[in-house]
Structure 1
Amino acid sequence: MDSGPGMNSVVMIVHDFPPEGNAGVYRPLRFVRQLQKMNWKTTVISAVPGQYERYDPELLKLVPRETEVIRVKGYGAWQALQAWRSRHKRSQNQNPDIPSDQEGTDQGTFPSWIRDAARNLEAWCYHPDMAAPWIERAVRATVSACSGEAVRVIWATAGPVTSFYVAQAASKQTGIPYVLDFRDSWTISYNEFESRRPDWAVRRDRKRMFELLQGSQAVVFRYATEAECYWRAYPMALDYRKVHIIPNGYEGAIEEFVEPDCKRCTILYTGTLTSYRFETLLDALRMLKDTASADACKLRLLFVGEGTEALRSVGDRLGLADLIETRGPVSYSEVARLQREAHAFLVLGRIPTMRGYELLVGAKLFEYLRMGRPIIGVLPSDETTSILRRLKSPIIADVESSEEIVGVLKRVLRAWSTHTLSTLVPDRKICEEFSVERQTVALTKALEGRPADHPFIRGAVDIPKSLQRYFDEERWSEGSARPGKKE
């Protein structure tokens, strides 16, 4: 479709796009939907994977009809083999409903040292990440999409970082500027793939990141702390004047809180649990059960998503089977149904052995905002805590204190029993600041090369404690400072 009169046009490099349903899909999907409403023609360059991480075809209904989605092969021979092995295992097990976090793994097939060696070999051979096979095809598709009409800008979101490589290469061939959108803190916070890479590869990745930042028209980060980290890591590459702060958000109006009529107070957690810290929460539940059994029996904690098996195992060992329920990944529509049936939501923090863990905020938090329910935070001092405090949420507990967690749970139970849960809901007006409508207005400024309404101020915030000793410029550029590794 050609751009209409006065319509801007953007080509969007989005590796994961519906029917992929992982957490990284929703930010670019929301922008695609809103840009179309704001007189921008959107063309998406996406990858066809060897296998989907979380297949959800219902999400295709959310893609605007006017948006052209160009899909290119996104896997090589090695990924094709892994996908075949995964399908073979599933057919042998006669269980088509294996959770997506178990698909494609070699767990139980090969000894651990062989699996570990294979992961190390991948880290040596794929640059900059496992999505490398799509780069050449995606560049060709992007250049082709830019040739038929007056495309104003190329926008790329990462991960994977290969999306940035595609944008840079296409920009060089077409002369069209590119904008980088950081959906994660790539090269800054912990990444298992990077932690396995040799120092020479890390140095090359950082040199390329320097070039990517330096050559961009604008760079979008999710919050000021993240921008500060990149400015200190790449001070000569990142011009503070082209930094835009656009957090994750939600789409649609905030729902009015109608308290579900249930005999137990349901607290819902959705999304992956892998790398999240839940042990002190379970200790608190055990403490509540021991000291206030009458209160504990009114609670029901429902965990839905990948990696719930470990929580279930610990919960069973602590005698919490009557309080905890776990389920595997479900569709987007089913998540929405479960959210409307919940009395409150739960967010957790990442494990502290992950360097840069303070920067990681689950995308689920922003969808929770749209549902207009209380949000319980069991958290360290991190970005999620900062956001909840900004929203004036009164039910945040220190992850290190089981006693504090028990206090928050009792407060929620008291409000539930007196039908006053609405008093614990985050401030609605502040929540509206995270609406995708506002965020897309901010994004258009980056796409048009205009300055941000709220400029990034260098040095105004501190970087996370887990990263403070890694930003010596010489060590960083040499690759010897490795925040990609665990402690």
Structure 2
Amino acid sequence: MKNRSDRRPRVLYLAFYFPPSRASGVYRARATANHLVEKGWDVTVCAAPLDFLYNVIGSVDERLSETVDPRIQVERPSLKDYTWQQDLREFSWLRRSFPLMAKRVYQFSQTKLFPERYSSWAWASVTRALKLHTKKRFDVVVATGNPFASFGGAYVFNRLTGVPYVMDYRDSWTLDLFHDEPAFPEGHIAWAWEKRMLNRASASVFVNESLRGWHAERYPEVADRMMVVPNGWDADVLPKPQVRQELEQAQEPEPEADAAEEETAGASTAKRPLTFAYLGTLTAKQPVEEMAEAFKIARRHPELADAELQLHGHLGFFKSSPAALKARLGLTDAPPEDGAEDTGLRYCGPVSKTEVGGVYESADVLVFLAGGGKYVTSGKIFEYMAFGHPIVSVHAPGIAAQDVLDGYPLWFNADSLDVDELAASMIAAGKAARDMSPEQREAARRHADTYSREAVLTPFEERLREIVGLD
């Protein structure tokens, strides 16, 4: 029989949103699983059932699945989709025959057992994991939320098996990030669940220091087991920007050219309309109107004449989201017809994670649009920095993302949502894009290098080794 030291350490990863899901948290989950495999771990992921991703929320990126390490074992436990069912033919026998009783059973599960509609998936994951555990023991469980029922699943599995677990808060459960206030009233069962889960967890992980600090203040008895693992950018799906190629070209002697040709080329570059780009999921909780109005004002400046703001990504997370957002912003898929006002906004549609590098590389300026308050970071900002372009902030002052951007040499932050101040920062970013040298861009990328997934996940993997006694 092999000793524990002779085999790969085994981790059970409870990550509901995992490829082909395109939920915002999926990139952290994908990167974590891949990183652990590369570091010698045997990884089993319990993820959302495919019929839920395809048929219920319709939110998938199939090409993202190709970036998951084939050594990862993916299990998809069942989920009772009571709250998502719209077709009577899909109702269970109990719900069809006794709808009021079925409703009471569901409400009881939410108010007395676990307050989240994904809880059935967590319990199904525990059942699946127990079967796997009897065949080959897990050494540690990592649960990432949301959904936060994954934390409950890790807690129950620990009580049944004694296997230690780690809670990864890539989002906050009991703190409303958009209003900077508790998400539940005092006395709600969510507080009791969070307290007991944190008390038994070997570690809890947060995406920024602001979130860690809030939870440490509320749960001081476990503050010493809390750590920060920020999000990062994924080198395996982002092609290396052309910065170093530009540097090499800049160092090579240029062939002699006719003076008139040089003057013409310079004038052409100076007059080329700039491309601003936002890449990510647009939602109603972001200051989208302020962004659009500020860009409209900025385009009146000669530096931004005929500039475009290209919006790449999905409109919301659900099937019903796009129409409302398009109507709200007046987004168009093509330039306006003759005589109509041109706002410069262009909706370019969704982009696969495997193709986002082309969008970033072709932009002159990146627009960092974010909702929420001081506890919000956003995973996209790390990708933005990785390409070394000027970045314009469009968000409320004081959000946690500013800690990440602090030190980035091409950051333009109005520190306000006033549209005139935002427009001024857009104009300044446009000027910087026209004048930027390859050396300046490389300096910006060096700041981003500290947030590569390899850099941010290494301390996390080392912590897992300590927990299972492999340090």
TM-score range, shorter chain: 0.7 to 0.9
Q: Distance in 1 between matches of 2:273 and 2:442?
A: 19
1:149 aligns with 2:136: yes
Kindly indicate whether the alpha-carbon contact (under 8 Å) linking 1:374 and 1:421 is maintained by their aligned counterparts in 2: no
Q: CA deviation at 1:151?
A: 2.2
Matched position secondary structure for 1:303: strand
Matched position secondary structure for 2:295: helix
Q: Which of 235, 253, 258 is the aligned partner of 2:220? A: 235
Q: What one-letter code is carried by the residue in structure 2 that aligns with 1:375?
A: I
Q: CA deviation at 1:180?
A: 0.6
- Indicate the structure whose relative CO is greater, using CA pairs within 8 Å and at least 6 residues apart: 1
2:72 alignment counterpart: 67
1:255 aligns with 2:241: yes
1:325 aligns with 2:341: no
Q: What one-letter code is carried by the residue in structure 1 that aligns with 2:40?
A: N
Q: Distance in 2 between matches of 1:41 and 1:73?
A: 23
Q: Which of 368, 373, 377 is the aligned partner of 2:389? A: 373
Kindly indicate whether the alpha-carbon contact (under 8 Å) linking 1:280 and 1:401 is maintained by their aligned counterparts in 2: yes
Q: CA deviation at 1:146?
A: 2.3
1:224 alignment counterpart: 209
Kindly indicate whether the alpha-carbon contact (under 8 Å) linking 2:367 and 2:392 is maintained by their aligned counterparts in 1: yes
Q: Which of 170, 177, 198 is the aligned partner of 1:183? A: 170
Q: CA deviation at 1:302?
A: 1.0
Q: CA deviation at 1:149?
A: 2.4
Matched position secondary structure for 2:6: coil
Q: Distance in 2 between matches of 1:132 and 1:39?
A: 31
Matched position secondary structure for 1:302: strand
Identity %: 22
2:6 alignment counterpart: 5
Q: What one-letter code is carried by the residue in structure 1 that aligns with 2:295?
A: L
2:199 alignment counterpart: 214
User: Matches of residues 31-110 of structure 1 in structure 2 within 5 Å?
Assistant: 31-48=32-49, 49-52=51-54, 53=57, 54-81=59-86
Cα gap change, 1:228 to 1:55, in 2 (>3 Å): same
Q: CA deviation at 1:306?
A: 1.6
Matched position secondary structure for 1:400: coil
Kindly indicate whether the alpha-carbon contact (under 8 Å) linking 1:50 and 1:75 is maintained by their aligned counterparts in 2: no
1:286 aligns with 2:272: no
Q: CA deviation at 1:20?
A: 1.0
User: Matches of residues 105-124 of structure 1 in structure 2 within 5 Å?
Assistant: none
User: Matches of residues 132-171 of structure 1 in structure 2 within 5 Å?
Assistant: 132-171=119-158
Taking structure 2 as the reference length, what is the TM-score of the superposition? 0.76
Q: CA deviation at 1:314?
A: 5.5
Taking structure 1 as the reference length, what is the TM-score of the superposition? 0.74
Kindly indicate whether the alpha-carbon contact (under 8 Å) linking 2:143 and 2:154 is maintained by their aligned counterparts in 1: yes
Long gaps (5+) in structure 1: 86-119, 352-356, 452-487
1:271 aligns with 2:280: yes
Larger Rg belongs to: 2
Cα gap change, 1:266 to 1:125, in 2 (>3 Å): farther
Cα gap change, 1:147 to 1:369, in 2 (>3 Å): farther
Deviating more after overlay: 402-411 vs 33-42: 402-411
Kindly indicate whether the alpha-carbon contact (under 8 Å) linking 2:178 and 2:371 is maintained by their aligned counterparts in 1: no
Matched position secondary structure for 1:448: helix
Deviations 1:128-162 (A, max 9, x none): 22212212211111222222224221111000000
Deviations 1:224-277 (A, max 9, x none): 1111100112233x2x22112100011227533379x89421111122221111
Matched position secondary structure for 1:403: helix
Kindly indicate whether the alpha-carbon contact (under 8 Å) linking 1:285 and 1:320 is maintained by their aligned counterparts in 2: no
Q: Distance in 1 between matches of 2:343 and 2:192?
A: 53
Q: Distance in 2 between matches of 1:394 and 1:435?
A: 18
